[in-house]
Structure formats: structure tokens, C-alpha cells
Structure 1
């Protein structure tokens, strides 16, 4: 076997380091995302404290349903969809939280479908 020149050794070392870093990050994000609910509790706490639209939705959800609704039917409104529909009226904290989760979801969808490393 031929000896590797220093340039090839550096390239191989760099490629190996990048791959290890990618694997560690994927494992960490999977571990934290699946076993630590605090990652999701904190944004939910911020949304409940700082978004007035959610408070108005909670008050509306406490009202009884119409008489002509089928028995056993629950309230059809989804609070997250209501926040997305009213994006311009949301607070900056709500926009940043929703933007983060939507970006994470969209990037994960695009990169995973193209066999790129994403968790």
C-alpha cells in the first residue's frame, strides 16, 4: 500500500471528524427530543404566558357547543392553527417559537427525504 501524503491525511481526519460530529449531534437531538419533555414544556409555557390569542381561545373553548352538533363532538378549533392563521397579530415570542418549530419540521422533511443527515 502506498504511503499517504500529509494532505490526504488531513482530508481524511477532517472527514472523519465531521462524520463523528454529525453522528453525535443526531444521537443527542434524538435522545433529547424523545426523552425530555422539558424541551417542549418551555415553549408551551412561554406561549401560554405571553400570547393573548391563546387566552381568548381558552375562553371560547369553555362555551358549550351548539345544539345541532352531534353528541360526543369536541371543539373543532386547533390553537396552533389559529396562531398560524393570525400570524401578523401574534407577539414576537410566539412568532419565534412557531418559526423555529416550522423551520425544524420543514428542514427535517426536505433533508431526510434526500438522505441527508437530519434527525
Structure 2
């Protein structure tokens, strides 16, 4: 084994502590995200009470279309896609929630594919 001078010991200690902190954060966020639905209930609660576009979906989930339209158009649209298509008319709370989840998804996709630590 090589001898470590004081500067190498500090760098090694820093690297080990950073790795341990990263692992602890990854495990905690995976545990909380997969086992606790409260993390997802609260944004859903805020979206249902703050967003008028979602209230209209609850009352009338789809619009009956003319008889000559395709069968795919008669299916109800995804609520999230409806919110994203009407981004400018959404409330500030809805924009913040959607922005957070989209940013989290995109960063996770980019960092995980590059073998960087991400939960």
C-alpha cells in the first residue's frame, strides 16, 4: 500500500464522504418516492383545487364529436397533455408543479443515461 501524505488523506476523506452522502440521498429519495404516496397526493390535491381546466374534465370528461370524426378522436384526452397544451392559460401553481415534475424527469433521464448519480 502506498503512503498517503496529508493532502491525499483529505482528498480521500472528501471523496468518501461525498460518495456516502450521494448514496444516502439516493436511497432516501427512492424510498420516499416509491413507498410514500403523500409526495404525489399533495400536488394532485393542489392541481384539482387550483386548476379550472381539470374541474371541467371532472364535469364533462369528453366532448361528443360529429359523426364523421375518427374513433380515436372520441377517446378522452390525457389530463396532463391537456394542461401542457394549454400552458399559458394554466394557473401559476399548475405551472410550478408541472415544471417541477418535467424538470425532474428530464434531468433524471439525462443524468441516469450518463451514469451520473440520480434517483
TM-score by length of 1: 0.87
Is 2:47 aligned against 1:40?
no
- Structure 1: runs of 5 or more not aligned: none
* Cα shift at 1:117: 0.7
Conservation of the 8 A alpha-carbon contact between 1:61 and 1:75:
no
Task: Tell me what 1:90 maps to.
Answer: 90
Q: SS in structure 1 opposite 2:88?
A: helix
1:107 and 1:43 map into 2 onto residues whose CA distance is: 19
* Cα shift at 1:4: 1.2
Conservation of the 8 A alpha-carbon contact between 2:62 and 2:77:
no
Conservation of the 8 A alpha-carbon contact between 1:87 and 1:95:
yes
Q: SS in structure 1 opposite 2:60?
A: helix
**For residues 55-87 of structure 1, what are the alpha-carbon distances to aligned partners after superposition, in whole Å with 9 as ceiling and x for unaligned?**
112222177x569687xxx84211110000001
Task: Tell me what 2:19 maps to.
Answer: 19
2:2 and 2:93 map into 1 onto residues whose CA distance is: 58
TM-score by length of 2: 0.87
1:118 and 1:33 map into 2 onto residues whose CA distance is: 13
**For residues 9-49 of structure 1, what are the alpha-carbon distances to aligned partners after superposition, in whole Å with 9 as ceiling and x for unaligned?**
11001000100000000000110111000000000000001
Is 2:10 aligned against 1:10?
yes
Aligned residues, how many?
Answer: 115
RMSD, aligned CA: 1.9
Task: Tell me what 1:58 maps to.
Answer: 58
Q: Which runs of 4+ in 1 moved over 4 A?
A: 65-70
